Structure 1
Amino acid sequence: MRLDRYLANLQYGTRREVKQLIKANRVTVDGKKERDGSAAVPLGALVAVDGMPVGRDLQVYYLMNKPHGVVTATSDAKARTVLDLVAPADLRPGLYPVGRLDKDTTGLLLLTNDGALGHALLAPKRHVPKTYLVTLASPLTATMQAQLEAGIAFQEFVSAPAAVKVRPDTAGCEIELTIHEGKFHQVKRMLKAVGNSVTALGRIAMGPLQLPPDLAEGTYRPLTAAELASLAAVNEERISK
């Protein structure tokens, strides 16, 4: 990759601004000053600006705890989006949220610019499980649970059998619901179909990823090595099929 594009991708400015930075003798590659923006950056090279290494990964994976009231989108003319919560230094070209959470839904959201991985997690044939913590308006009955676990027939699709776990000491008003699709308002529609309603909703797991209990709403962090390895296994499984 060209040096000017490399630095622009790392948010050091526009291509024009980066070229000026390079021409000002402020950039080194492997300890040597480089004034040519078209120079190739060798794989594994140490690039520095003003003596500070900038060798951050161009491909990124962030785990976010999406807050209430924020839109899951890359841009929106009126509302704040999840990308608005990302620090400028952490932005990358092509960064996007994998999947969608409603504006009033909180919880686990993966942000990446790895399109192949995003496809592996979202492809309908993959049936990647998604688990939600659901607060209900009224206690879940045995009949409601049986209906959810059997699958709900909607006009345009039939949901796969869901896994339901009632959280203890919640009088049946908090459940963990695992589904394998991701249709529009699906969880809310499923609970409405069995005669209940959702008062609060948060995603706590997606595939091998779990929402860390210490990740505050509105914050994010890079995936750990173990989390990346678990996602790599998902992607490998997609390729092998």
Structure 2
Amino acid sequence: MNLEHYLTEHHQGTRRQIVRLLRQERVTVNDAVVVTGHTAVTATDRICVDGLAVTGRQPQYLVFNRPLGFQDDLTPTTPRSLGGLLNEFDRQWQLTALADLPKEATGLVLASDDTHFLTDLQRIGWASQLTAQLTGPVAPDLSALKAAVTWQALTVTPDAVHQTTTIVGTTKGVAAAVIALSQLPGLIGPVTRTGVGPLTLPGDLPVGTYRGLFAPEIDALVAPLDATTPAPK
């Protein structure tokens, strides 16, 4: 079988991830770097990714709906942390969170044991979508909010039926935005991150729970690298 098929069968990522692994020269066959997925391999070959045999490497990609005040620490024994939310199976992985959401906010947090994936996301620098809900169906004065943060988008939606106003903003300045939104009068509950780049917080993911990312979600998150990763020589 060819190398790309072998890596796919051994759950080393999506097809696009595997192509990227090869292009980044992270795959070796019998200690030699291989960048071509069509390379023929056999069961006796020693195939590694990042120096780890593929049989012992099962990369995990998770999305959390983090509760208010929780730390992004993935150590299971740390109180009020993401690690405390993990089930027994997922506690075996050496997971790290992309810790870019202040503790004063809730919502979407990404975690993985694939450090290259997390580094890639930091390089891409996706903007976050933040949502805040206020009492009253009247649009508030947002001059201070606009002055404190550079927004890519900012919408205000009054709701006369529920007597609330929802503010949704997209920005790369997450920490400053959380502070500015939290200071708005009439805030109901905490500020929530409802999206990161192309990924939206799943509507069926309750606060305090998590799930694995689906292959299309992983590919969408790292898609900008497809245009910048050098092709094999």
Q: Which TM-score band (shorter chain)?
A: 0.5 to 0.7
Partner of 2:133: 135
Q: Is the 8 A contact 2:68 2:106 kept in 1?
A: yes
**1:201 paired to 2:191:** yes
Alignment partner for residue 173 of structure 2, among 158, 181, 200? 181
Q: CA deviation at 1:225?
A: 1.7
* Distance in 2 (alpha carbons) for counterparts of 1:140 and 1:147: 17
Deviations 1:43-92 (A, max 9, x none): 59xxxxxxxxxx79621101111123421223498632102211131235
Partner of 1:224: 214
* Distance in 2 (alpha carbons) for counterparts of 1:203 and 1:95: 21
Partner of 1:4: none
SS in 2 for 1:167: strand
Q: After the TM superposition, which of the residue ranges 174-183 and 90-99 deviates more from structure 2?
A: 90-99
TM-score (norm 2): 0.62
* Distance in 1 (alpha carbons) for counterparts of 2:121 and 2:223: 11
Q: Is the 8 A contact 2:108 2:195 kept in 1?
A: yes
Q: CA deviation at 1:226?
A: 1.1
Partner of 1:72: 72
TM-score (norm 1): 0.60
Correspondences of 1:58-69 after superposition (within 5 Å): 58-69=58-69
SS in 1 for 2:174: coil
Q: CA deviation at 1:220?
A: 1.2
Partner of 2:110: 110
1:166 aligned partner, one-letter code: V
* Distance in 2 (alpha carbons) for counterparts of 1:238 and 1:219: 34
Partner of 2:35: none
* Distance in 1 (alpha carbons) for counterparts of 2:186 and 2:77: 30
Q: CA deviation at 1:129?
A: 1.0
Q: CA deviation at 1:188?
A: 3.6
Identity in percent? 24
1:59 aligned partner, one-letter code: P
Cα gap change, 1:83/1:93 in structure 2, threshold over 3 Å: closer, same or farther?
same
Correspondences of 1:26-105 after superposition (within 5 Å): 58-75=58-75, 79-105=79-105
Q: Is the 8 A contact 2:137 2:158 kept in 1?
A: no
SS in 2 for 1:88: coil
Q: CA deviation at 1:182?
A: 3.0
Q: Is the 8 A contact 1:83 1:96 kept in 2?
A: no
Gapped regions of structure 1 (runs ≥ 5): 1-39, 45-54, 153-158
Partner of 2:151: 161
Q: After the TM superposition, which of the residue ranges 111-120 and 166-175 deviates more from structure 2?
A: 166-175
Q: CA deviation at 1:104?
A: 4.3
Gapped regions of structure 2 (runs ≥ 5): 1-43, 49-54
* Distance in 1 (alpha carbons) for counterparts of 2:141 and 2:224: 34
Cα gap change, 1:142/1:201 in structure 2, threshold over 3 Å: closer, same or farther?
closer
Q: Which has the larger radius of gyration?
A: 1
Q: After the TM superposition, which of the residue ranges 200-209 and 103-112 deviates more from structure 2?
A: 103-112
Q: Is the 8 A contact 1:99 1:122 kept in 2?
A: no
* Distance in 1 (alpha carbons) for counterparts of 2:185 and 2:65: 26
